[in-house]
Structure 1
């Protein structure tokens, strides 16, 4: 059932610019770092002389976090906005599936799109490192994978929240505003206490354990998704 719902959702997106957005997010992050290293190559390579790849990954990570926040906001809005713009909620809800599955399908499609975008950051970052002549000897694939996928898992509460708001609200101005506020808060999250969800995607905590942030994000993400699903099941969406 879920596969059928997700295939329908992807069909709705086939003529939209969603896949271009999936590509532009990681491409923009790496392009900005290419400019950064290109303009300050001597300074940055001297600063990160002991670990060139680690320096590149840290710089990519700093730009990746706000991109994740704004990216999930746009993707959630586009995924739900199609039904609002075309007034197809009645047709969608008339399908022989329950409302909970429809909501879960919206969440899954948004998460998959963001996952695809995050995954593209891996080859783009590697390509930039090769172009900067960082070498192949100490390629930190594990660190790069952790930098890319751990924040994606930790940011699940915000994916669930944005899908929830985008689905139940016809006017997408408020969901997008909430997403922008989340992006701004995420940029200063290192100053927040560990219990605040905006801090979790940065993987910073007092225990110095990134998996703490990942576990907290997955747990709260599931709770928010279930709350949104319950409201969607009861709400008269038009």
Structure 2
């Protein structure tokens, strides 16, 4: 049932500009580092001489949490907005499909789109490194593939919260504003504490125990997802 809901939502996003957003973030981050390394290539090659690929990944990953939180906010709003704009919530929920399946399907769609965006970022950075002349035989594929996926696991609470708020609220201004604030605060969260939830996204990559922070993000994200699902199941959505 959830699979049917996911497939239906996948069809609904055609022509909504969502795919543009999915491609925008990885292209933007890759272009930013192309400019960074293009202007300072000799200096950066000297600075990261011991590990050129590692240096490139470190320069990218500092912007990934911000991109993920903003992406989670906008994607959640756009996915929920498909139903809000058309006023089709009541029609959708009157169909022989549970509210839990509807909610889970839309959430999984947001997760899949973010995962695709993360993998596109990996592809873009690998291509950039090769264009810059880095050794193709020393590509750290494990790190490259998890470049966006580990921070995404740490950012899952933000995605779950934003998805909840955008789904149950017809006025998207408040949840979108909150998402932007959370993304900005996340930039400075490490100065508060590495255990502050908004810091988990970055710590899931660069922390002393990345898997722990990724697990914390997944656990908190699933808890918020469950709370949102219960609220959505009981709420009269217009």
Question: What TM-score, normalized by structure 2, do the two folds share?
Answer: 0.96
1:26 is displaced (CA, Å) by 0.4
Query: In 2, Cα distance between the equivalents of 1:18 and 1:214?
Result: 26
Structure 2 partner of 1:170: 170
Contact 2:126 2:144 in 1 (8 A): no
For this pair of structures, how many residues does the alignment match?
238
How far does the alpha carbon of each residue in 1:46-92 deviate from its partner, in whole angstroms, 9 at most, with x for none?
11111110000001111222111111111000000111111001111
1:206 is displaced (CA, Å) by 11
Structure 2 partner of 1:216: 216
1:203 aligned counterpart, secondary structure:
helix
Matches within 5 A, 1:11-90: 11-90=11-90
Contact 2:168 2:237 in 1 (8 A): yes
Alpha carbons of structure 1 residues 24 and 109: separation in structure 2 relative to 1, 3 Å: same
Contact 1:194 1:205 in 2 (8 A): no
1:149 is displaced (CA, Å) by 1.3
1:27 is displaced (CA, Å) by 0.5
Query: In 2, Cα distance between the equivalents of 1:152 and 1:180?
Result: 16
Query: In 2, Cα distance between the equivalents of 1:204 and 1:13?
Result: 30
Structure 1 partner of 2:154: 154
How far does the alpha carbon of each residue in 1:195-214 deviate from its partner, in whole angstroms, 9 at most, with x for none?
32101000269971000111
How far does the alpha carbon of each residue in 1:83-138 deviate from its partner, in whole angstroms, 9 at most, with x for none?
11110011111110111111111111111111110110111000000000011132
1:194 is displaced (CA, Å) by 3.2
Q: Is 1:145 the counterpart of 2:145 in the alignment?
A: yes
Matches within 5 A, 1:95-134: 95-134=95-134
Let me know the Cα RMSD of the aligned residues.
1.5
**Which structure 1 segments of 5+ residues have no match?**
none
1:156 is displaced (CA, Å) by 1.0
Query: In 1, Cα distance between the equivalents of 2:158 and 2:32?
Result: 25
**Which structure 2 segments of 5+ residues have no match?**
none
